[in-house]
Amino acid sequence: MIRFDHVSKRYPGGKEALTNVNFELDQSEMVFLTGHSGAGKSTLMKLIIMMERPSQGQVFVQGVNLNRLGRRHIPDIRRNVGVVFQNHQLLFDRSVFDNVALPLTISGYQPREIGRRVRAALSKVGLADKEKHYPVTLSGGEQQRVGIARAVVNKPPLLLADEPTGNLDPGLSEEIMNLFQQFNQVGVAVMIASHDLVLVKAMGHRQIILSGGRLET
């Protein structure tokens, strides 16, 4: 599903965020990406959805070498990867429904199909009754779940989450993690960046540990 082949990323200014990273994520696998903040977790995820390009090495997503894809094809990759952001990245002038519908709208789905899928995704994350609300009226945990609904609404084969429980209390964090696990159980490959080591350990999946931009083995 994902393969990093000797990937390094150096930002302009000389800071090396990733150094010679090699790993693979299988289809339907769930993996945690851990490490201190600044260890390169976010950079690694940005490389997968082409928010950044590697300085060296190659990134493959579903067998496609991202180095070979032009700017024009970035949307194609992003439509196949559901991403949950730590800061949610919701549109605050639109309802929950419209936020979740966004990936379908940009792909040109019919309104009826959009309605069906959005409601299914919202009920999956337990927000079926909040579709007409605006994100500001929701709690942090609820906003995060809107973000998750948006990430899964077009049924991507790969789900990325960057610190999805960063600002949540332990009870809510576990709920969110269980949600990811449910998606994984139906065949979605999941990669979660988290520094909540206790929770990660409790979940019991493979860990990829980053330290100073390098993989720990």
- In the complex, the smallest distance separating the C-beta of residue 120 from another protein, rounded to whole angstroms, is 4
Query: Among residue numbers 24 through 53, which ones bind another protein (CB under 8 A)?
Result: 49, 51
State the residue for tokens 């100073």: 212
CA distances to 134, 138, 147, 154 from 93, in Å: 7, 13, 15, 22
Which position among 22, 37, 123, 178 is part of the footprint of another protein (CB under 8 A)? Answer: 123
HSE, CB side, 13 Å, CA atoms: give it for residue 8: 9
**164 is an interface residue for another protein by CB under 8 A:** no
- Binding track over 176-195 against another protein, x by CB under 8 A: -------x--xxx-------
Q: Which is nearer to another protein, 20 or 28 (CB)?
A: 28
User: What are the start-end ranges of the H helices in the chain?
Assistant: 41-48, 74-79, 96-107, 111-124, 140-152, 170-185, 197-203
Among 150, 176, 208, 210, binds another protein (CB under 8 A): 150
Q: Interface mask (CB under 8 A) for another protein, residues 89-118, using x and -?
A: xxx-x--------xx-xxxxxx--------
Residue 84 CA to residue 101 CA, distance in Å, equals: 15
CB of 197 to another protein, least distance (A): 27
Give the per-residue contact string, 62-81, with another protein (x = CB under 8 A; - = no).
Answer: xxxx--xx--xxxxxxxxx-
Cα–Cα distance measured from residue 114 to residue 69, given in angstroms and rounded to the nearest whole number: 29
